[in-house]
Structure 1
Amino acid sequence: MREVFQQELEEVQERLVRIAGLVAQSIEKATTAFNSSDVSLAENVIADDHLIDELAASLDELAIDILARQQPVARDLRIVVSALRISASLERMGDLAEHIAQLARTRFPEKVVPKDLRPTFKELGRLDVLIAQKLTRLLESESTELATEIRDDDDLVDDLHLSVFDKVLGETWKGAASDIVDATLASRYHERFADHAVSIAKKVQYLQTGDWVAVSN
């Protein structure tokens, strides 16, 4: 029975890695669509979001079944409960990638943000993609170094997010009200995407080290 239980825990981890990989693909496509006004790519992200949702729901069912049948305790219990919470965060990250793609589709054939903000959003997209790729490797390897890197990358995303607000609320801003709405929404989506990755990194590092505050959000 113990061997079966360990196999089930391994399956939980494998499913998390698979979902994270799909999230990484989704944010890469979404940010590319956003920055290049590629409506076909945006629609691809929107159409495929259900795959992430379905895998997350399936993982939740497996985790709940494990809790009911195996009644894990101590670290094993923390692993299963953390998997449920990580699954929820990954599903939300997929939704945020979809939101970014929806903005690209809504504003097509125009770009979502004004020209002077595009370099900022290109960098936000690059960082979100990098964070998602690192998160996939983190869930596979449980590397505490990757958890720290994700936190550091999130700090850069936060700085860029604040710079967007400084720009659109500044006295020299010439954009329309709709530009302010689009820019602030898009920036928030990018920022929240990275925040969810940090939340997951906190849970993984806690399981490895027992130190809940090692990765701060």
Structure 2
Amino acid sequence: MKITEDSHEPAGSVKHMLRVQYREHLKAFNRDLLEMCDTVRSIASHANAALLEQSLDDAETALTEADSLQEISDRCEERSMRLLALQNPVASDLRQVLSAIYIVEHFERMGSLARNIALLARQRYPEPVYPAPLHGYVEELARLVDDMGAATRNLLVEPDADAAVELHTIDEGVDDMRAYLCSLVSDREWEYSTREAVDLSMLARYYERYADRCVGVAGRMVFLITGLKPEAYLLRRDEPDYNPDEKFATIERKFRVEG
């Protein structure tokens, strides 16, 4: 996430030094957040390969990387506590820290869901998790979710409220695919085993929840940029007089004076 430099304190003053220290901590936090996102995406990529290609090596790699995710998460938690305790943050910084805390939680859950996919692939190896004729459907589901993961990372690098709300469109495709697969396994004409029906249902659920967490990250980014929830932002977006930057600048000026 981008950081806006906004210190108005004289260089060399105690307040200025504290502000510089605060910004350095915030930058380090954002680097950790991006590293966490990349780790989650790598886990998901290997989990997809394990699932779609019956690759035991990819399953093991995904599980190993999932174990390392907690270390990054703990580091992010420690940094967030330091940032909140270091000095009274201005409004934009407070939004950034709080948003990042929630995003870390989403990434933790995404890592767990990708790990579940890898575990399922490893448990069924060398057999596939799902019936071979349904490979195309599962592959498409994995592709849609991977696209959402890529879009989520882009939001961290280039925050954009409009791009964030667009993730709902891809998520609808994921929901439709999951509903379709679940309709297949519940159909009386299901011609495969009960084990395959259960595994496919679980698999579809893991992907759906992963996609929902991407939407959760996007929602936090909308709040970070605009101060609004996605639904409220969509309602306000087309209003000609809506200028969140000016409103937030006014709040921050007041905050500094009163602080």
Q: If the TM-score is normalised by the length of the shorter chain, which range does it land in?
A: over 0.9
Equivalent residue for 2:81? 64
Counterpart residue type for residue 84 of structure 1: I
Equivalent residue for 2:103? 86
Contact between 1:27 and 1:128, CA under 8 Å: does it hold in 2? no
Segments of structure 2 that go 5 or more residues without pairing to the other structure are: 1-17, 235-259
Mapped to 2, the partners of 1:150 and 1:25 lie a distance apart of: 20
Mapped to 2, the partners of 1:14 and 1:99 lie a distance apart of: 26
Number of residue pairs aligned between Structure 1 and Structure 2: 216
Say which structure, 1 or 2, has more relative contact order (CA 8 Å, 6+ apart).
1
Moved more, 46-55 or 159-168: 46-55
Mapped to 2, the partners of 1:189 and 1:13 lie a distance apart of: 27
In the TM superposition, residue 205 of structure 1 has moved relative to its aligned partner by 0.9
TM-score, normalization by structure 1: 0.94
In the TM superposition, residue 72 of structure 1 has moved relative to its aligned partner by 2.4
In the TM superposition, residue 144 of structure 1 has moved relative to its aligned partner by 2.3
TM-score, normalization by structure 2: 0.79
Instruction: Give the secondary structure class of the aligned counterpart of 1:111.
Output: coil
Q: Which 4+ runs in 1 deviate beyond 4 A?
A: none
Mapped to 1, the partners of 2:32 and 2:158 lie a distance apart of: 14
1:143-162 equivalence runs, <5 A: 143-162=160-179
Does 1:7 pair with 2:24?
Answer: yes
Does 1:32 pair with 2:65?
Answer: no
Moved more, 99-108 or 112-121: 112-121
Instruction: Give the secondary structure class of the aligned counterpart of 2:212.
Output: helix
Equivalent residue for 2:212? 195
Counterpart residue type for residue 193 of structure 2: A
Counterpart residue type for residue 206 of structure 2: Y
Counterpart residue type for residue 100 of structure 1: I
Mapped to 2, the partners of 1:183 and 1:121 lie a distance apart of: 9
Mapped to 2, the partners of 1:7 and 1:140 lie a distance apart of: 17
In the TM superposition, residue 210 of structure 1 has moved relative to its aligned partner by 2.2
Equivalent residue for 1:115? 132
Match for residue 91 of structure 2 among 71, 74, 78? 74
Contact between 1:13 and 1:140, CA under 8 Å: does it hold in 2? no
In the TM superposition, residue 169 of structure 1 has moved relative to its aligned partner by 0.5
In the TM superposition, residue 96 of structure 1 has moved relative to its aligned partner by 0.8
1:118-197 equivalence runs, <5 A: 118-197=135-214
Contact between 2:145 and 2:207, CA under 8 Å: does it hold in 1? yes
Equivalent residue for 1:20? 37
Mapped to 1, the partners of 2:160 and 2:62 lie a distance apart of: 29
Does 1:47 pair with 2:69?
Answer: no
Moved more, 75-84 or 51-60: 75-84
**Cα 1:20–1:158, aligned 2, differ >3 Å: closer, same or farther?**
same
